[in-house]
Structure 1
């Protein structure tokens, strides 16, 4: 079978994966993915053949998956979260355009904005924007423009890839942009290592968030002007009359 299944595995815990994703992994002959993400689902992979590449090895990973599919195998290409949200689906589908003989499917997963939001409560009950602070593939000027537009529109904002050793001040700069439109006491939240043994979350103000150190395992939530803390949970109201 010449087929590639592009699979979102959610945050990595079995309980947070969809039934469809679990079934697809079991049906594949080969599983390809980033080394860390493969390690999260080894119990499902078992003794299947695997293709592992490190961070920034996405193009190589896809090409190796294509070669295996051309040889007649059913390949599962995994992404953390949802494969179509900062995942592998866009790249893989672009490359597949030159391989019309290979069947393909995209299997959705639970993105960090959903799983992290659930830890915090309901921070995304109204309109929101998801923005990655990684400038590896997107110019920082464009990221800053998007931050400004989302803040001005009073959207709740989720920040992916908020910091790394090389981008230690990016979250502070993002907060400074947003503070141009929102008060310093705007409700914010952070989640770390979602669905893993050292999972954690906390609620802070926008001014407190500005001073915090984060890494690539952190997902940041910034409320809109109506977001509150209710019973220890972040809630962005939809507007229901009570």
Structure 2
């Protein structure tokens, strides 16, 4: 996107488009898998604080991250390889600011039934299961926070997972916004704008949200706002 803005050239090669699809699917699914892993980390920190270092040991953390990367890399490669079986015209105009998987499939004149089924299945698995894990962890976290007797203890417990809950809310709200807008609207411009809100905005806000947990950052922000 930055290269297109700089060169004022919106052309992309066939290989480049497939590579872009692969990377976008990979990073989107990895994010969806890492969010429940982080939710589990918050759950252990609040609900089992005395056993946190035993449960969330470095070996488990590395295995969870490695599993997320490996399984989603395989899924991204599968979606990309499925695109290779589809036939396209020589000159195509993708009505989007990047090579989005569903948009590319719609431009094919081959039978894309299997591709659409694969998208539906992978979206349900890698979207529904992580969301269920996050909800499960959040319910237990909230119940544990409410049982804390002191107000200071509640504030400390909430600050432990507040940043993560903010990121989860931002990511899934924008994601559902993209899905709803694409379902009820036929405007390609609105679909592209919604995709920007999902693929660009949350990632730009994530560092800012997590940095607010740092005491020095909070102090600097207060001084700047005064």
TM-score by length of 1: 0.23
Bigger Rg, structure 1 or 2: 2
More strand by share: 1
Higher RCO (C-alpha under 8 Å, 6+ residues apart): 2
